Amino acid sequence: MADERNKPVVLVTEDDENMRGLIAQVLKSLEVGVRIVCAESSQAALDYLERHPVAVVVTDLRMPGPDGLDVLGFARERGHGTQVVLLTGYATVESAVLALKNGAFDYLTKPFENEALRAVVERALHRHRLDRGDGATPPPAGDTGGQAFIGESAAVAGIRRLIGVAGQHDCNVLISGPSGSGKELVAQQIHRASNRAAAPFIAINCAAIPETLIESELFGYRKGAFTGADRNKPGLFEAAHGGTIFLDEISNASPSLQAKLLRVLQDRSFFAMGENRPREVDVRVVAATNRDMPALIGEGLFREDLYYRLMVMEIEIPPLKDRREDIPVLVRHFLQRFAERYERPEPPRLTEEALDALMQYAWPGNVRELENRVQRMVIMTHDAVIDTGQLPPPLQAPGARQKSALDYFTPRSLDEIEAYFIRKTLRETNGDRALSAEILGIDKSTLWRKLKRYQLEA
* Residue range 404-458, CATH number: 1.10.10.60
**Cβ distance 52 to 9 under 8 Å?**
yes
Sign, CA dihedral 412-450-204-318, equals: negative
Residue extent(s) of CATH 3.40.50.300 domains in the chain: 154-318
Closest C-alpha to 247, from 213, 278, 201: 201
pLDDT at 412: 52
| pLDDT score, position 136 | 41
Q: Strands (DSSP E) along 76-131, which ranges?
A: 83-88, 106-109
C-alpha dihedral sign at 305, 310, 313, 314: negative
Domain with CATH 1.10.8.60 in the chain: 325-402
CA 308 from centroid of its chain's CA atoms: 25
Q: Which residue in 263, 247, 270 sits closest to 309, CA to CA?
A: 263
Q: Measured between alpha carbons, how far is residue 382 from residues 170, 317, 342, 349, 375 in Å?
A: 47, 34, 11, 11, 12
Question: Which residues touch 79 (CB under 8 Å, ≥6 apart)?
Answer: none
Within 13 A of 282's CA, how many CA atoms are on the CB side?
A: 6
115 vs 107: CA distance, rounded Å: 14
Q: How far apart are CA 429 and CA 456, in angstroms?
A: 15
Largest separation between any pair of C-alpha atoms in the chain: 68
> If 0-12 CB within 10 Å is exposed, 13-18 middle and 19+ buried, where does residue 18 land?
exposed
Q: Which CATH architecture has domain 2-132?
A: 3-Layer(aba) Sandwich (3.40)
Q: Hey, is 308 helix, strand or coil?
A: helix
CA-based torsion, 249, 254, 257, 258: positive or negative: positive
Q: Domain 154-318, CATH 3.40.190.10 — does that match?
A: no
Residues of the chain with CATH 3.40.50.2300: 2-132
The crossing angle, in degrees rounded to 10, of helices 183-192 and 114-132 is 10
Mark the ranges of the chain whose per-residue pLDDT is less than 70. Answer: 1-5, 31-32, 90-98, 101, 130-148, 224-225, 227-229, 397-414, 457-458
The whole-angstrom separation of Cα 372 and Cα 335 is 11
Q: What are the residue ranges of CATH 1.10.10.60 in the chain?
A: 404-458
Cα 362 to the center of its chain, rounded Å: 24
**C-alpha dist (Å) from residue 4 to 9, 286, 342:** 10, 38, 20
Is 325-402 in CATH node 1.10.10.10? no
Quick one: DSSP state of residue 440?
H
Alpha helices, H only, 274-413: 293-298, 304-310, 327-341, 352-360, 366-380, 393-396
Would you say 138 and 117 are in contact if contact means Cβ atoms under 8 Å apart?
no
Residues 352 and 360: beta-carbon distance below 8 Å: no
Q: Are 331 and 296 in contact (CB under 8 A)?
A: no
**CA nearest neighbour of 428 among 350, 372, 353:** 372
pLDDT at site 143? 42
Q: Tell me the sheet residues that pair with 247.
A: 204, 287
Q: Which residues pair with 349 in a beta bridge?
A: 385
Angle between helices 327-341 and 352-360 (to 10 degrees): 110
